[in-house]
A and B are shown apart, each in its own frame.
Chain A
Amino acid sequence: MYLSSTENARSASPEGLVENGSLQPLNRDRFWRNLTLAPAILLFLALTILPMVNLAVLSLHDIDWAQGLSSWTYVGLKHYASLAADSLFKASILNTLVFSTVAVSVQMVLGFALALLTSSIVHGRLFYRTVFLLPILVPGIIIGAIWKLMFSFDFGVLNQMAGAIGIMPRDWLGDATYSLASIIVVDIWHWTPFCFLLLLASLETLPQDVYEASDIDGATRWQSLWYITIPLMLPAIAVTFVFRLILAFKVFDEVYLLTGGGPGTSTEVVSFTIFRRFFTEDRPGYGSAMSITTFAFIALMIIVVSAVTRRKGSTS
């Protein structure tokens, strides 16, 4: 979406300048143009750029406290250099990649399927829609607590059900074989509705006449799904995917309560490692370097993903 809208702006601007013939309306336009964008710019400047600059500066320093005062020591790129040797950070990057790609892929498929199913039925749409939207209403902290109990080795409902059908109980969160998968399951439960919401919104704005035409041509349901719905929805799918991927990359609350990154490093995720280094260990310099490296990493990922989708979009 982000890339396609810039295309739009680029093509729109030259005509616009030509159309605004006289100077008077141009000035008035400019006034409104600046005024309408100003609040967003101000918020971004004050509450995002400033703290991010702060992070960048921090990442080049060591901070010590004595007599209630801080002393900053410039250490250059030392923190960035030591990232390479941080085995916890490496483990967390890997886990987060696995976590977010697996979780988001499943969420996209399920969300799309649910959106298709919901839009294809006549009665009860409202009910299903409401039910599927429920999980995003629940604070992550509650999700963590409730699933922790459901996963519990000794008291959890999962092991009770497994026991009822003769399966050995498993320690879903405490055994490194299952822990990451368990977290992924929770995330799928929590965030599939989000994909569902965005995909359904896009599905319902698709032009009906195309379908009517294809009905006349005798296209099967699968054909119209494959050749009409999916291509038309590709931009929405891409946006939803990227959007969810970013959110998944930030996963924190759930992991914090469910496993605390363990057992071992099996569920250590990036924002948790950052939190640990930055706050728990109180190493803001090193933690900032880790944050900034992570942004760079994700930014790269997003650029690659949107480049790929754009190429696909332009060839089709």
Chain B
Amino acid sequence: MNFSAKIRGALIAVFTLPLAFMSVSHAQDQVPITIVINQSPWFAGFQTVVGQYQEKTGNTVSLDVNPFAGSLEKQRSAVRSKESPYDILIMNAGFFIEMYKGGFLSPLNDIDPKFALDKDLYTFDDSVYWDPSTNKIDAKTGKLMSVPINPFIPILHYRSDLYAEKGLKVPETWDDLLANAKALNNPPSMYGIVQRGARGTFDVTYDVLPYIWSYGGGLLKDQKAGDYTIIVNSPETKAGMEMYLKLAKEAGHPSTAGQTQANVLQNMATGKAGNIIAVLAASIFDDPNQSAVVDKVGFAPPPHAPGFQSSPGLGHWLGGIPKNIPGDRQKAALAFLNWFQSKDAQMAYAEAGSPPVSRAVLESDLGNQPKYRWMKALSKGLTTARLPFFIPESAQILAITELGFNQIISGQTTVNDGLNNMAKEMEKVMTAAGYKAPLLPDLKD
């Protein structure tokens, strides 16, 4: 039993931890900093890297770990107060723009003019840059605002053992996936695919996006170029939505509308799902304490419609430094971020089980090892990944789409009515926020 080993490990950690602190405390060259972060499957890796940073530099970094649900609220409160208790904010793709636009973050070159992003780092649809004069993400005119921390995108997780057994090929298009899912579908002991359809803050919308984008649809036409035409009720979006529903109906879970991300992962972990599309959960599926499918899960980018490219939505995390803290704390925070983006740190981060944000590490030989077999799928998926929101009104739009998509999936409304209705509500929000957001004609049967 590995229990005694764990006890021993814990005891050793308890007794040696103080020693480790004592031996390095003299080397400190930066003031102590605090990072606000949320608990997640990749947190353990982040913590390992923080430990190494403290060991190597002698600087003190404390982590304020929050449940996922409370992290944004704490960050908001902190940056809006007189002096933030936090020195680095770990921000999600869903809300970093709010921090940029509110002017809460210090541009990194204001802290150190010489600081530059490592050339190997992904910039995730330029989301590390912000132009405050135009209030837009812009790599050319914008300032560097943050350092990437985690590269989450949705990834297709499939049962590689069953694929081999039935002679199935890794799917390229949605129709391929449908065929594979049907081949594996044998409810209730096995569902061909389990999709997240439950309503949350950025849940069902996030999982519907790869479908509707890859058919040429979406929510708003081209936010980056400033075209806010509402295309949620376009024929293309409808085609993607119908593909989602087809999979759910013909080879999916009987209660897709009730599935949360945790349900989806549980179905895979217990061997009840043939395919899922979810953010990378390799660390769960390869842990025998949490999974009945160890080494039986393969990874690939999400499928796409014929003639289109795979379109995963970015759900990445960025590290930013608040404006409302003293200069020495900002410098100490930047020193950590600078160290974090180094190749050594990124390598250690990957080895501790967290997906790195460095292209060099993600595309390195590490990816050839079975343990890191997810790396290739992730790096391929990242090449076509898209940022869902370039505007700060994301929360209000998501409130509409989370409910709307969930109602379509649960059958409370028809596809046409649901999409038309969402379009009208989005138009209200967008217009009230001052955007020019034309509506398309209603979808008709």
Contact = CB atoms under 8 A, between A and B. Distances in A.
Q: Decide if A and B touch, CB cutoff 8 A.
A: yes
Interface of A: 65-70, 88, 152-155, 169, 171, 173-176, 256, 260-265, 276, 279-283
A152 B263 contact: yes
Interface stretch (B24-32, B42-50, B340-348, B399-407): B399-407
Contact of B103 (A69, A155, A265): A69
A65 B103 contact: yes
Interface in B371-420: 395-396, 399, 403, 406-407, 410, 412
B272 A154 contact: yes
Interface of B: 69, 72-73, 76, 79-80, 98, 101-104, 188, 198-201, 253-255, 257-260, 263, 266-267, 270, 272, 323-324, 395-396, 399, 403, 406-407, 410, 412
A281 B80 CA distance: 16
B272 A263 contact: no
A152 B103 CA distance: 43
9 contacts: A67-B103, A88-B403, A153-B255, A154-B263, A171-B254, A171-B258, A262-B199, A263-B258, A282-B98
Contacts of B255: 153, 171, 174-175
A276 B266 CA distance: 27
Contact of A260 (B72, B198, B266): B198
Contacts of A280: 72, 201, 395, 399
Contact of B80 (A65, A173, A174): A65
Given A65-B102, A65-B103, A68-B103, A264 B412 contact: yes
Given A174-B257, A175-B258, 11 more contacts: A68-B104, A69-B103, A153-B255, A153-B258, A154-B270, A174-B258, A174-B259, A265-B403, A279-B73, A280-B395, A280-B399
Contacts of B72: 280
Given A66-B102, A152-B263, A154-B272, A263 B396 contact: no
Give the 6 A-B CB pairs with smallest separation, nearest first.
Answer: A174-B258, A65-B102, A171-B255, A67-B103, A262-B199, A281-B395
Contacts of A260: 198-200, 260
Contacts of B102: 65-66, 68
A171 B104 CA distance: 43
Contacts of B103: 65-69
A264 B410 contact: yes
Nearest to B95: A282
B272 to A, nearest CB: 6
Nearest to B199: A262
B403 to A, nearest CB: 7
A277 to B, nearest CB: 8
B194 to A, nearest CB: 9
A66 B102 CA distance: 4
B395 A155 contact: no
For A65, A69, A154, A169, the residue with the greatest tally of chain B CB atoms inside 10 Å of its CB is A154
A66 B101 contact: yes
B254 A155 contact: no
B324 A68 contact: yes
Contact of B323 (A68, A171, A261, A276): A68
A163 to B, nearest CB: 9
Contacts of A175: 255, 257-258
A167 to B, nearest CB: 14
Given A68-B103, A155-B270, A282 B395 contact: yes
A70 B410 contact: no
For A67, A88, A171, the residue with the greatest tally of chain B CB atoms inside 10 Å of its CB is A171
Nearest to A63: B80
A155 B189 CA distance: 11
A66 B101 CA distance: 7
A155 to B, nearest CB: 7
Contact of B412 (A176, A279, A283): A176
A30 to B, nearest CB: 41
Given A68-B323, A154-B270, A171-B258, A262 B395 contact: no
B329 to A, nearest CB: 16
Given A68-B102, A174-B259, A155 B266 contact: yes
Contact of A176 (B253, B259, B410): B410
Nearest to B69: A256
Contacts of B323: 68
A278 to B, nearest CB: 10
Contacts of B254: 153, 171
A263 B403 CA distance: 8
Contacts of A174: 198, 255, 257-259
Nearest to A174: B258
A263 B270 contact: no
Contacts of B263: 152-154
Contacts of B200: 260, 262
A88 B396 CA distance: 13
Contacts of A155: 266, 270
Contact of B79 (A68, A88, A152, A282): A68
Given A69-B103, A171-B255, A176-B412, A263 B199 contact: yes
B257 A263 contact: yes
A36 to B, nearest CB: 36
A261 to B, nearest CB: 7
A35 B130 CA distance: 57
B145 to A, nearest CB: 13
A264 B406 contact: yes
Contacts of A264: 199, 257, 403, 406-407, 410, 412
A262 B198 CA distance: 7
B407 A154 contact: no
Nearest to B132: A67
A279 B103 CA distance: 19
Given A174-B257, A265-B403, A281-B395, A65 B270 contact: no
A215 B247 CA distance: 71
B258 A173 contact: yes
A155 B264 CA distance: 12
A116 B255 CA distance: 42
Nearest to A262: B199
B261 to A, nearest CB: 11
Contact of A276 (B80, B253, B260, B399): B399
Contacts of A68: 79, 102-104, 323-324
A169 B253 CA distance: 13
Contacts of B76: 282
Given A65-B102, A262-B199, A154 B266 contact: yes
Contact of B198 (A67, A152, A263, A265): A263
A98 to B, nearest CB: 18
Contacts of B260: 260
Contacts of B267: 154
Contacts of A176: 410, 412
For B72, B267, B323, B406, the residue with the greatest tally of chain A CB atoms inside 10 Å of its CB is B406
A260 B406 CA distance: 12
